[in-house]
Amino acid sequence: MPLDDHTPDQTPGEARQFKVVGTRPLRPDGIDKVTGRARFGADMSAPGMLIGRVLRSPHAHARIRSIDTSKAEALSGVKAVVTRADFGPGDDDVADILDNCMAGEKALYDGHAIAAVAATSAAIARKALKLIDVDYEILPHVTDVDAAMKPDAPVLHEGLSDETVPEGVSQNVVHRVEFGHGDVEAGFAKADKVLERTFKTAATHQGYIEPHACLATMGADGIADLWVCTQGHYMVRNTCAAILGIDQGKLRVTASEIGGGFGGKTTVFLEPVALALSRKANRPVKMTMTREEVLRATGPTSSTSIDVKIGMNKDGKITAASADLRYQGGAYPGSPADMGSMTAFAPYDLENVKTVGWDVVTNRPKAAAYRAPGAPMAAFAVESVVDELAKGFGLDPLDVRLKNAAREGTKSSYGPTFPAIGLEATLQAAKDHPHWKAPLGPNQGRGVACGFWFNFGGDTCVSLNITPDGTVTLTEGNPDIGGSRASMSMMAAEELGIPYDQVRTVIADTGALGQNEVTDGSRVTFAVGLATIKAARNAKKVLCERAAMVWGIDPDAVEWVDGCARPAGDNAGKFPPMSLKEIAAIASNTGGPVAGHFEVNAEGAGVSFATHMVDTEVDPDTGAVKVVRYTVFQDAGKAVHPAYVEGQFQGGAVQGIGWALNEEYIYGEDGRLQNPGFLDYRIPVASDLPMIDTVILEIPNPGHPYGVRGVGETSIVPPLAAIANSVSEAAGVRMTSLPMSPPKVLAAIQAG
- What SS3 state is found at 262? coil
Segment holding 561, helix H or strand E: strand 558-561
Residue 575 CB, nearest approach to other proteins (Å): 42
- 569, with CB counted inside 10 A (0-12, 13-18, 19+), is exposed
Report if residue 535 touches other proteins, rule: CB under 8 A. no
**Contact region for other proteins (CB under 8 A) — 12-20, 24-32, 189-197, 566-574?**
24-32
Can you name the residues that pair with 383 across neighbouring β-strands? none
Nearer to other proteins, 17 or 35 (CB): 35
State how far the Cα of 365 lies from the Cα of 672, in Å rounded to an integer. 11
Residue 210 contacts other proteins per CB under 8 A: yes
Tell me the sheet residues that pair with 106. 63
CB of 523 to other proteins, least distance (A): 7
33 near other proteins, rule: CB under 8 A: yes
| Rounded Cα distance, 388 and 379, in Å | 14
How far apart, in whole angstroms, are the C-alpha atoms of residue 653 and residue 639? 18
By the rule CB under 8 A, 418 interacts with other proteins: yes
Instruction: Determine, following the binding rule CB under 8 A, whether residue 233 of this chain makes contact with other proteins.
Output: no
Q: Which residue among 509, 520, 617, 635 contacts other proteins (CB under 8 A)? A: 520
Restricting to residues 482-511, name those near other proteins by CB under 8 A. 482-483
Nearer to other proteins among residue 46 and residue 139 (C-beta): 46
Residue whose CB is less far from other proteins, 175 or 401: 175
Is the Cβ of residue 419 or residue 592 nearer to other proteins in the bound state? Answer: 419
Tell me if 234 sits within 8 A of 228, measured CB to CB.
no
Q: Rank residues 417 and 588 by Cβ distance to other proteins and give the closer one.
A: 417
Closest CA relative to residue 595, chosen from 559, 550, 644, 542: 542
Closest residue by Cα to residue 330 from 305, 359, 294, 292: 359
Q: Which stretches does DSSP call E strand in 483-568? A: 503-507, 558-561, 564-567
- Out of 199, 234, 454, 500, the only residue in the binding site for other proteins (CB under 8 A) is 454
Give whichever of 479 and 671 is closer to other proteins, judged by the CB atom: 479
Strand partners, 348: 405
Binder among 318, 339, 472, 508 for other proteins (CB under 8 A):
339
CB-facing half-sphere around the CA of 173: CA atoms within 13 A:
21
Residue 455 within binding range of other proteins, rule CB under 8 A: yes
Nearest-angstrom CA–CA distance, 615 and 440: 8
Site for other proteins in 61-90 (CB under 8 A): none
**Minimum CB distance to other proteins, residue 341 (Å):** 8
Using the rule CB under 8 A, which residue among 238, 288, 478, 487 binds other proteins? 288
> How far apart are the two ends of the chain, measured CA to CA in Å?
62
Report, in Å, the least distance between residue 725 CB and other proteins.
Answer: 20
User: 49 or 64, CB closer to other proteins?
Assistant: 49
Per CB under 8 A, 635 contacts other proteins: no
Residues numbered 177 to 196 that lie near other proteins (CB under 8 A) are 177-181
Residues 6+ apart with CB under 8 A from 456: 521, 522, 523, 603, 605
Task: Supply the minimum distance, in Å, between the C-beta of residue 277 and other proteins.
Answer: 19
- The one-letter code for the residue type at 540 is K
Residues 540-599 that bind other proteins (CB under 8 A): none
Distance CA 201, CA 337 (A): 13
Question: In this structure, are residues 388 and 195 in contact, taking their beta carbons and an 8 Å threshold?
Answer: yes
Please identify, among the stretches 30-38, 323-331, 583-591, 723-731, the one whose residues bind other proteins according to the rule CB under 8 A. Answer: 30-38
Among 7, 9, 15, 26, binds other proteins (CB under 8 A): 26
Nearer to other proteins, 333 or 671 (CB): 333
